[in-house]
Chain A
Amino acid sequence: MKTNTFFRKSAVAFMALLITAAPQAAWANTTLVKSTGISDESLLVVLTVFAGFQLLAILIIANVIKGIAANKQIWQARWNKTAAAIATLILVGASGQLMATDAKFDSLVSLNDTAFLALITLNLFLLLAFIYLVVKLNSLFKMLIQDEEGKVPESWIDKVNVMLTDAVPIDQEEDVMTDHEYDGIRELDNNLPPWWLYGFYLSIVVAILYSGYYIVGSGPSSAQEYLAEMDEAETAKTAFMATQTYTVDENNVELLTDAASLAAGAKIFKLNCTPCHAETGGSMPGGVGPNLTDEYWINGGAVTDIFRTIKYGVPAKGMVSWEAQLSPSKIQQVASYIKSLRGSNPANAKEPQGDLYEEETAASEEAPAETPADSTTTSTTEAATGEITMVD
């Protein structure tokens, strides 16, 4: 039964293709979540499995072709240019596939998103080519095995179709015709498609199990899921922090003065702070936030104070907490950048607010400051009268 063997083989080839599609999908997901911490090793495993399946698919298809070739009688009788063309296509496709697989391993060292997308596109294309080839092979085979009267035997697709729908063939449908007739519309009474019916049963079983687990049983509530998620995140964070030698907080933060840090700080500033404090840091008359370039600070002007203000915010004054948005090192960078703006005297800045702050270094190195840093007596009006002198 050569025919059956062939059908079985093409079915297997098709299944193999479907299986290769699964790692492709997984791979696409990997791209999406790559930056969230999928390791290169697991990527390698996925790719290897993927490559393996693709090879398998190629071998199976090759085997199918061999099967056709082995059927000598048909081969000799019906061999034509179409078959040759298809065989060439398969070879090209297969080698392309192998090349693509190679390319993946080569680029593993530095996989970037563009490369990923390009490879996915390429592989999807190859997958389509595979499907196309299988369909072509199938029709080729149909053509080859036509019997004398030119009647084509039922293909496996037709068989699967019948198996799935359990429908009465169209030429016999009067057998299942009901006597119903409405405005010319008649009704057949075909059986329920088996896959549909068993799918329905399956969904009911799943629903019962799901309810049993989540409503009656011990399935986690959304609050419990949340706690588990937070625990997991905490563990991961602790583990990561253990690898960090230096952690910054408002007590130990030090002023950064190197150009790279200040540039990074400037970038953070531009992205997050300008709506309220203006690009210059000087805010503007009637601006939302205070001027950050003068010597007057509402919540303290030391780098530790600024760090604290950024980190926790000042809700009563509308300063937002950035703790959840900026990492400590980023807060350090932007705080350092802000300190670097001191005395830049931008045009159209906001009037001074808060208390005069004098740099500690200056105060300790030279003389005791006339006005203590934490003084509450230095008022905005005094500042505006120009009584203040630069200390540093």
Chain B
Amino acid sequence: MELDKFSYDNGIVRKFLIASVVFGIVGMLVGLTAALELVFPELNAGIEFITFGRIRPLHTNAIIFAFVGNGIFTGVYYSLQRLLKTRMWSDTLSNINFWGWQLIILAAAITLPLGITTSKEYAELEWPIDIAIALIWVVFGLNMIMTIIKRRERHIYVAIWFYLATFVTVAILHIFNSFELPVTLFKSYSWYAGVQDALVQWWYGHNAVAFFLTTPYLGLMYYFVPKAANRPVYSYRLSIIHFWALIFIYIWAGPHHLLYTALPDWAQSLGVVFSIMLIAPSWGGMLNGLLTLRGAWDKVRDDAVLKFMVVAITCYGMSTFEGPMMSLKSVNAISHFTDWTIAHVHIGGLGWNGFLTFGMLYFLIPKMWNTKLYSTKLANFHFWIGTLGIIFYAIPLYWAGFTQSLMWKEFTAEGMLAYPNFLETVTQILPMYAMRAFGGTLYIIGVFVMVYNLLATAKTGVFVKNEEAEAAPLTSVYKAHAGEYWHRVLERKPLVMTVLAVVAVSIGGLIEIVPTALVKSNIPTISSVKPYTPLELEGRDLYIREGCNNCHSQMVRPFRSETARYGEYSKAGEFVYDHPFLWGSKRTGPDLAREGSSKLRKSDSWHYNHMLDPRTMSPGSIMPPYPWMFEDDLDVDNTNAKIAAMRTLGVPYPDGYEDGQAMADLDAQRQQIADGLAAEKYTISKEKEIIALIAYLQRLGRDIETEPIAQQ
């Protein structure tokens, strides 16, 4: 048969590869900065753009979407062409994919430090960027599917099943979680409120981990591990079972991020059971990866690529076992809101994603530059310092998590909290935070060594931009082998497979989200819960802008240790006007759900001093100061538009409230707060942002209290 001659596009792979490395370094350095800010709270030197609350989302977005995202594209563009024996369908689309994605990253790098954020974790980017992400993602998917259609390989390999599932699921997750009502070009409110918003967000957040950090990387593992080890994949049937089980089960597990919150109990329980069932499908991937190395373990000793991949797969196995354990309610009661979670995700991030990416880079660069790795010694050094970095990162944070959680929960015999002052539980773990930053430093040093090694490697070779290849075209008729496995049929019909993947990932989401949104009994209403005043609403938007939710939860869980510390546990009905919800996922500082309640209430002047310099009011605190909120005037240009938008979303502001009355109310309230502060000798203009923030903080938790608080 006549062989087609064609070439593989290595140019696009190189572009994504460089972007992944560059943004990886940026993202890790931002992460290191954030880690150091917890140890040295004034490290930001009064610069608002680099406070912890603003760069923490920058770090997560940079790592997930820029480092790993570009890593996905690198691996997919390289392997897809070869697995299908064809060049990418359209070089133009490939380049639109590349440049579009980098522009999105650029937009993120600009907007997040400016405080332009939706506050929803890993979905912080505002609506115009959300639209851009959706478009570019579709460009990627279209290019991939068209490439599959014009393939020269009859069946599609397991790596591509994972790529397809990744494409469709991320599209679904991103679109549904990003339903938001724009107020201005840079401000929108989530379509969903309170409990529903939390459920949709964690359906997304959990599955961003599943379908952005896991499934595409499993696809990469299925390509690069057998290639690097030169061994056959261990078990084809294991691939089939764990693929379908994984994508079907993963999608249900989101509610395990919301255990013991105001989410209805049935949804929490569903999150738990599907998390338990998730162990085996996850480990199926680990087993297939590790057992592929059977008979090649002697190579692991010498080959840097395999070394990195073995640790990556092992870390994958560890964190996918730990994840379900943390989803058990009794374990979650201890682990949630602590650094345990941070340690857990970094086993995945540094170990699985980081090391698999590094392994892939050490494989790709000698291949595409047609040369040998410059220095095995340096690669080995990178491997060991990176592994040490992971250990030094994770162990102190596990220790910090256990320590802090046990301190939060300890009571004296008299029935009092043993550590009633939250700060005691923070200062206790500061040495662990310092150790974590050290671990992160080791890891980054390793990356720099890798960059040097890879650059030196590239220098010794010549880049092959278009790699010549030839293969026979597919015949129009195909006769199936006798006795072939039923799944082979699907592998010949990638579009059918894609549709089935959509079905598999839609079921869990639908069953959990639709009833929570539609069945009234899931969110019992509380009549005393009222919409925020215009000033409080503006204050809330400042809280979002500063990323306060990155360190402060607003969710008192139904535990004695929490009600003793914070007051009545949070009820679903309290959040019905919260677009978006601000429950948070980590308590670096105390919970603020009831900050304004009579139990916890501080004076306006306390907040004034605390925001200006937290350590005057809370000696030893690791919160940064917020001096700019005392200098900048509150932007009230859009207050009326915000009120109108909120009404559209179902918040019962009276009709026409935004035509004058809202501003009058806002002005009266801030006058009152400024007057109160003045009486205590704190002179500040009512126009300043801090006044709105104080108004919001003092409102928190007030609604369900019957006693009014006397005006000062």
Co-complex (A, B): yes
B682 and A207 contact, CB distance less than 8 A: no
Stretch of A178-186, A297-305, A369-377 lying at the B interface: A178-186
Known: A32-B402, A318-B604. A192 touches B295 (CB 8 A): no
A190 within 8 A of B: yes
User: In the docked arrangement, what's the CA distance between A236 and B619, Å?
Assistant: 34
A211 within 8 A of B: yes
Measured between beta carbons, the chain A residues less than 8 angstroms from B564 are: 324
B507 within 8 A of A: no
A196 and B236 contact, CB distance less than 8 A: no
Known: A32-B402, A326-B416, A327-B412. A167 touches B294 (CB 8 A): yes
List A233-262 residues whose CB lies under 8 Å from chain B: 233-234, 236-237, 240-241
B270 and A215 contact, CB distance less than 8 A: yes
List B532-567 residues whose CB lies under 8 Å from chain A: 557-560, 563-565
A102 within 8 A of B: no
Measured between beta carbons, the chain B residues less than 8 angstroms from A187 are: 232-233, 235-236, 239
Stretch of B171-179, B276-284, B437-445 lying at the A interface: B276-284
A160 within 8 A of B: no
Known: A207-B274, A211-B269. A185 touches B709 (CB 8 A): no
B301 within 8 A of A: no
Measured between beta carbons, the chain B residues less than 8 angstroms from A208 are: 273
Measured between beta carbons, the chain B residues less than 8 angstroms from A214 are: 265, 269, 272
Indicate which residue in B234, B418, B569, B616 contacts A275 across the interface (CB closer than 8 Å): B616
Indicate which residue in A183, A200, A223, A240 contacts B414 across the interface (CB closer than 8 Å): A240
Cβ distance A195 to chain B, nearest Cβ, rounded Å: 10
Known: A200-B280, A318-B602, A327-B412. A193 touches B560 (CB 8 A): no
User: In the docked arrangement, what's the CA distance between A378 and B114, Å?
Assistant: 52
User: In the docked arrangement, what's the CA distance between A182 and B233, Å?
Assistant: 11
Indicate which residue in A173, A320, A326 contacts B602 across the interface (CB closer than 8 Å): A320
A165 within 8 A of B: yes
Interface string of B599-618 (1 = CB under 8 A from A): 11111111001000000111
A381 within 8 A of B: no
List B495-513 residues whose CB lies under 8 Å from chain A: none
Query: In this complex, what residue of A is CB-closest to B598?
Result: A315
Query: In this complex, what residue of A is CB-closest to B605?
Result: A288
Cβ distance A197 to chain B, nearest Cβ, rounded Å: 8
Indicate which residue in A190, A192, A203, A327 contacts B276 across the interface (CB closer than 8 Å): A203
B277 and A185 contact, CB distance less than 8 A: no
Stretch of A92-100, A150-158, A224-232, A359-367 lying at the B interface: A224-232
Known: A240-B414, A286-B681. A199 touches B599 (CB 8 A): no
Interface string of B254-295 (1 = CB under 8 A from A): 000000100001101110111011011101100100010011
Interface string of B74-115 (1 = CB under 8 A from A): 000001001101000000000000000000000000000000
B710 within 8 A of A: yes
User: In the docked arrangement, what's the CA distance between A318 and B233, Å?
Assistant: 66
B241 within 8 A of A: yes
Tell me what chain A mostly uses at the interface: helix, strand, loop, or mixed: helix
Measured between beta carbons, the chain A residues less than 8 angstroms from B411 are: 36, 233
Cβ distance B154 to chain A, nearest Cβ, rounded Å: 10
List B603-637 residues whose CB lies under 8 Å from chain A: 603-606, 609, 616-619
A222 and B236 contact, CB distance less than 8 A: no
A221 within 8 A of B: yes
B601 and A286 contact, CB distance less than 8 A: no
Measured between beta carbons, the chain B residues less than 8 angstroms from A325 are: 416-417, 420-421
B410 within 8 A of A: yes
Measured between beta carbons, the chain A residues less than 8 angstroms from B681 are: 285-286
Measured between beta carbons, the chain B residues less than 8 angstroms from A200 are: 245, 277, 280-281
Indicate which residue in B235, B273, B406 contacts A192 across the interface (CB closer than 8 Å): B235
Chain B interface residue count, Cβ-Cβ cutoff 8 angstroms: 84
User: In the docked arrangement, what's the CA distance between A321 and B709, Å?
Assistant: 14
Cβ distance B305 to chain A, nearest Cβ, rounded Å: 15
Known: A179-B481, A315-B709. A327 touches B416 (CB 8 A): yes
B65 within 8 A of A: no
Query: In this complex, what residue of A is CB-closest to B238?
Result: A192
B82 and A288 contact, CB distance less than 8 A: no
Chain A interface residue count, Cβ-Cβ cutoff 8 angstroms: 72
Cβ distance A196 to chain B, nearest Cβ, rounded Å: 6
A35 within 8 A of B: yes
B518 within 8 A of A: no
Known: A183-B82, A222-B260, A222-B265. A286 touches B680 (CB 8 A): yes
Indicate which residue in B155, B236, B418, B616 contacts A189 across the interface (CB closer than 8 Å): B236
Measured between beta carbons, the chain A residues less than 8 angstroms from B85 are: 183
User: In the docked arrangement, what's the CA distance between A197 and B406, Å?
Assistant: 36
Cβ distance A384 to chain B, nearest Cβ, rounded Å: 14
A316 and B617 contact, CB distance less than 8 A: no
Cβ distance A325 to chain B, nearest Cβ, rounded Å: 3
Query: In this complex, what residue of B is CB-closest to A221?
Result: B265
Known: A276-B606, A316-B712. A225 touches B558 (CB 8 A): yes
B130 within 8 A of A: no
Measured between beta carbons, the chain B residues less than 8 angstroms from A183 are: 79, 82-83, 85, 223, 227
Measured between beta carbons, the chain A residues less than 8 angstroms from B260 are: 222
Known: A193-B287, A316-B709, A324-B565. A207 touches B277 (CB 8 A): yes
Kindly list the 6 A-B residue pairs having the minimum CB-CB distance in the complex, ordered from nearest. Answer: A318-B603, A325-B420, A200-B280, A226-B558, A237-B415, A207-B273
A sample of 29 inter-chain contacts (CB < 8 A) reads A36-B411, A170-B294, A179-B481, A180-B155, A182-B83, A182-B153, A183-B227, A187-B233, A188-B232, A190-B234, A196-B283, A196-B284, A196-B287, A203-B277, A215-B266, A225-B558, A226-B560, A226-B563, A226-B569, A233-B415, A236-B413, A240-B413, A275-B618, A315-B601, A316-B709, A320-B600, A320-B601, A324-B565, A326-B416
**Which residues of A pack against B, CB within 8 Å?**
32-33, 35-37, 165, 167, 170, 173, 177-180, 182-193, 196-197, 199-200, 203-204, 206-208, 210-211, 214-215, 219, 221-223, 225-226, 229-230, 233-234, 236-237, 240-241, 271-272, 274-276, 285-286, 288, 313, 315-321, 324-327
**Which residues of B pack against A, CB within 8 Å?**
79, 82-83, 85, 153, 155, 157, 223, 226-227, 232-239, 241, 245, 260, 265-266, 268-270, 272-274, 276-277, 279-281, 283-284, 287, 291, 294-295, 329, 402, 406, 410-418, 420-421, 481, 557-560, 563-565, 569, 598-606, 609, 616-619, 680-682, 709-712
13 more contacts with CB within 8 A, not counting A193-B287, A233-B560, are: A177-B232, A183-B223, A185-B226, A185-B233, A188-B233, A192-B238, A196-B238, A196-B287, A200-B280, A203-B276, A203-B277, A203-B279, A275-B619
